[in-house]
Structure 1
Amino acid sequence: MTGGRGLLVHAMLALGAALFLLPVWLVFCAATQDVGAINRGEIALLPRRDGLSIFGDVLFGSGPAGADRPVWPMLALSFAMALAIAAGKIVVSVLSAYAVAFFRFPLRMVCFWVIFATLMLPVEVRIIPTFEVVAGLGLINSFGGLVVPLLASATATLLFRQAFLAVPDELMEAARMDGAGPWRFLTDILIPTSAANIAALFVILFVYGWNQYLWPLLVATHPAQETIVVGIVKMIGTESATEWNRVMAAAMLALLPPVLVVLAMQRWFVKGLTDGEK
């Protein structure tokens, strides 16, 4: 019975993996086809070897359509933005959660519930006043304008607060008897014990920052400040004029950085998720 159940579980996992990978494989194959075949819906299930050069053409803006913009600056900007958003959210969330969890100051819980209440506000509700603030600070068409408004995270603050509250009181008392101040207690005890959670959250926040579309579309009107997600959308013109093979190639290239980040931090990511369930 156990062997049959294990076989069924593995079969379901294989089916789920196939359903996930099939669209990605079709996009990869479509990138190597010519535009006419894609427009006719004649996408082969195997890539054309002579069409693999499309990825280099799209990445560096070379090839027959050499006038097209290269996507590597967009990839570099998106990577820097996602990295800054993930790191910034973690720093801000750790400090705010630490203050709410361990410091005693007036209206402490009111501050926490105000932070928590922002989870109920959709991004679209806050985007106009946020844009006005960024415009007033002169951050339009700047890297700071892309990153700074996205640094606060109520979700991450809530998660870190719960993780900090799970720290035994004996550990805090031992650190206090050892002469550790608030900053040393945070850096030497809380952050190391929360390293797996930080790594798991970093992966999630990196993917979140990488996939941003609406905010970069509004705040970055200069071509030099376009992220890869915005760039791919702008590559799509009318249905008959769009070079779909180049769009598909750009989509595949945009998929690589977040996948590499997930693979590089997979062990920490899984450990952070499993530790959070204990």
Structure 2
Amino acid sequence: MADNRIEPPPGMVEKRGSALWLTHLLMIAGVLVIFFPIWLAFVASTHTQQEIAQAPMPVLPGSHLIENYTRALFSGVNVPVATMLMNSMVMALGIALGKIAISLLSAFAIVYFRFPGRRFFFWMIFLTLMLPVEVRIVPTYQVVAGFGLLNSYSGLILPLIASATATFLFRQFFLTVPDELAEAARVDGARPMRFFLDILLPMSRTNIAALFVILFIYGWNQYLWPLLITTNPEMNTIVMGLKQMFPSGDDIADWPVIMATSILAMVPPVIVVISMQKLFIRGLVDSEK
């Protein structure tokens, strides 16, 4: 039998190999550039104040890791970091889950229910993208204060759980679902919520995962809104607490504790991204829903 394989031109394999190595070297260099400041923060969190102040600054971990992280977690500056981490976790989870739940139901109603003004209400929701939190923060604060939700988890979460972006994305996905599925569910006697729970929700798994990662980080990094509605230090989030640790005036910064707090503040978002990495990527790039 004749061999019909096409041989590559001379030099193609070598060029492909060199280009592959160059790509990997550039990626490694980029990772090192991004990771180096994080490494310095971690190293600073394992040394004493005197060791950090010496020139040149150490680039290898010291022997005070447990001591500094224990002081940060259970002592802190104004309030223990463990308390602030818990507040940020509750806020980020509440915002992410609340946005996803409301957006799923809103998109489901807009796509699968026929009612007057359906398109109008969708575009009204979409137009709220032009009104960021900073624009509506004063009336939102007045409403929250009127309901007595200052210094509470409800006050931190409820004003931020509506999401026009998530509603739009879920609507666009639901529009790609074949109408035959809804017809088959109707023939089988499934009510609308049964169709939503048994068919649409499992099909939306990758979209939900991708949005959860994005919305969790959005909630975790909130600074202005928690700063406005919390006056009790026990309700401080980790981003607020980290900003308050920096000295003012002639105060001396406790850099080991500040750096330990910075590292601790990065841990939960990193865990969420790593644990949901596959679903996150599929939710962004997978075309087969």
- C-alpha change, 1:67 and 1:94, in structure 2 (3 Å) is closer
Residue equivalent to 1:2 = 16
Q: How does 1:201-220 map to 2 (within 5 A)?
A: 201-220=211-230
C-alpha distance after superposition, 1:55-75 (max 9, x if no partner): 1221121xxxx8763210111
Residue equivalent to 1:169 = 179
1:179 partner amino acid: G
Residue equivalent to 1:77 = 87
- Paired residues of 2:47 and 2:64 also in contact (CA < 8 A): no
Partners of 1:199 and 1:58 in 2: CA distance: 32
Residue equivalent to 2:161 = 151
Residue equivalent to 2:126 = 116
Residue equivalent to 1:245 = 256
Q: How does 1:1-278 map to 2 (within 5 A)?
A: 1-39=15-53, 42-61=56-75, 69-238=79-248, 240-275=251-286
C-alpha distance after superposition, 1:17-56 (max 9, x if no partner): 1122111111111222332454566421112123542012
- Paired residues of 1:116 and 1:158 also in contact (CA < 8 A): yes
1:77 partner amino acid: N
- C-alpha change, 1:197 and 1:41, in structure 2 (3 Å) is farther
- Paired residues of 1:197 and 1:275 also in contact (CA < 8 A): no
Partners of 2:98 and 2:219 in 1: CA distance: 11
Q: Percent identity?
A: 53
C-alpha distance after superposition, 1:216-265 (max 9, x if no partner): 00011101111111111111122752112211110101111111111121
2:219 partner amino acid: G
CA RMSD in angstroms comes to: 1.9
Runs (5+) with no aligned partner, structure 1 = none
C-alpha distance after superposition, 1:52-107 (max 9, x if no partner): 4201221121xxxx876321011111111111111111000001111111111111
Partners of 1:139 and 1:88 in 2: CA distance: 17
- Paired residues of 2:151 and 2:231 also in contact (CA < 8 A): yes
- Paired residues of 1:39 and 1:240 also in contact (CA < 8 A): no
- C-alpha change, 1:132 and 1:275, in structure 2 (3 Å) is same
1:231 partner amino acid: G
- Paired residues of 2:210 and 2:279 also in contact (CA < 8 A): yes
Partners of 1:205 and 1:15 in 2: CA distance: 29
Partners of 2:128 and 2:19 in 1: CA distance: 44
- Paired residues of 2:78 and 2:233 also in contact (CA < 8 A): no
- Paired residues of 2:92 and 2:218 also in contact (CA < 8 A): yes
Partners of 2:165 and 2:287 in 1: CA distance: 14
Deviation at 1:276? 5.4
